[in-house]
Structure 1
Amino acid sequence: MAKVTAPLMSLDASGALGKALVFAKWKGINYARRYFVPMNPNTENQERVRSYFTRAVTSWQGESPETRAMWNAAVRGRPLTGMNYYLAQYIKYLSSHNGEAPATPFLPPVQQQS
């Protein structure tokens, strides 16, 4: 992926240039990349993971502000959000429990003291 300073002789560019290049911005940085069509095989495993992700997001949205605050506190000082951590742990739980949802509220794992 190339970082660009003045894409197409302008200050900003986004979108596709034919089927050759795509211009976009990520975290305020303009970039260009080769155009590609993503694969979407729709395998059984892929559908299961998508379902787990949807269920995790729905669960996060239903959690109380207090529970969300606990997840945010659990990642303080780390480069991710409480929601990121929640989704990862929720999906890991679903995967290891044959898709069975955890009890609510779903709380962060106990952190080891060093």
Structure 2
Amino acid sequence: MTLWNADWLRRMRDVLFERDVSRTIFEHTRNLVVATLVLAAGLEAIEHDPRDIGPLAFRSTGYVVAVLGTGLVLLNLADGIHRLSKSGLPRLWQTLLIAAYVVLFWRVTHLILLFR
């Protein structure tokens, strides 16, 4: 029996497209990138304090933006965990997907900070 038989491909098509799993994956990826950009902008402002902007210092504004970005990342992670818990996947797969999310977030943050 081959892994790529027609029945397996039909099931994958059903899961990815009929149940909107591909749309959900793209939404979570987009949300991860946006939240990471917000976090990276806050970290950049904390690290470099070139001027004051009105009554608030640039650095203190950076802390607020970094906390907001962290909150967005955690909210996106919580939404993903909630959806995974309802999906019926085994706990091992859920744990692996959550670990992949955390590693991906960490690497995207590093890449964004490197390209500043």
Same fold (TM > 0.5) = no
TM-score bracket relative to the smaller structure: under 0.3
The structure carrying a bigger helix percent of its residues is 2
**Scaled by the length of structure 1, what TM-score is found?**
0.27
Higher relative contact order (CA 8 A, sep 6+): 2
